[in-house]
Amino acid sequence: VTARFPVRSRILHWLSAVLVFAALLIGFAMVNSVGNYAALLAVHMTIGVAILVIVIVRIVNRFTAKPPNWPPTIGTLEGKIISNSERLMYLLLVAQPLVGWTMVSATGRSAVVFGLHLPSIAPFDEGLFFALRQTHSVLAYLLVVVIAAHVSGVLLHTVALRDRVLSRMMFGLRRARSSSGPP
Ligand code: HEM
């Protein structure tokens, strides 16, 4: 039977996966949208700040909920690459919402989340806005790249090596490993 992450880690993982996907999709859609820009931005900011909160909870959870050991199909070097890319995702997911919030603050308006006005965390500053606006795009593209690598790695293991890496993060019935299957 495949070892799994603790249930709270799995819930936090899929919750952030859905929200990050939505934040990226809405982010790219709204900058190309004329008519729905304001509504999309409101949803984007709310999802983005929710991600910040969830990722802080996830980081605390990462130190308090032990992940299962890696399967033997993951070697030392690959293990290091995986750990570092996971750290990078945590870092990007803390930085991106903070950059977004600071950038909106620098326009002189306040970020609105669930209809509530957040405090401004930066002075009104055009130069600061432009720098952070660029940073927000760069971090978004970096996120897309790291997430694509993350998903590709999991698929490579699950489909090609058949070591059930994906099951570690899944819900539902546990199936015993078939004795006729690959080792
Ligand atoms: C993990 C969370 C977030 C992700 C993944 C994300 C992603 C994105 C993406 C992909 C874009 C479009 C970038 C481009 O094409 O140049 C964008 C733009 C933007 N985001 Fe975020 N974002 C996040 C959090 C936030 C937060 C928390 C705020 C504000 C409170 C925010 C405010 C904005 C604004 C104002 C824009 C630019 C709109 C424009 O220039 O017209 N974002 N974001």
Instruction: Quick: pLDDT tens for 129-162.
Output: 999 999 999 999 999 999 999 999 999 999 999 9
- From ligand 1's centre to the CA of 39, what distance in Å? 13
SS3 165: coil
172 pLDDT band, cuts 50/70/90, is confident
> Which of 89, 136, 141 to probe ligand 1 with, by most ligand atoms within 8 A of CB?
136
Check whether 177 has a pLDDT greater than 60.
no
pLDDT per residue over 30-67, tens digit each?
999 989 999 999 999 999 999 999 999 999 999 999 99
- The DSSP line for 130-152 is HHHHHHHHHHHHHHHHHHHHHHH
- Indicate the pTM of the whole model: 0.93
Residue 47: which residues within 8 A CB-CB, separation 6 or more? 19, 22, 23, 26
pLDDT per residue over 111-133, tens digit each?
999 889 999 999 999 999 999 99
Pick from 179, 166, 148: nearest CA to 71: 166
Q: Which residues line ligand 1 (CB under 6 A)?
A: 20, 23-24, 27-28, 31, 41, 44-45, 48-49, 51, 93, 96-97, 100-101, 103-104, 111, 133, 136-137, 140, 143
pLDDT per residue over 69-102, tens digit each?
999 999 999 999 999 999 999 999 999 999 999 9
Q: Are 10 and 171 in contact (CB under 8 A)?
A: yes
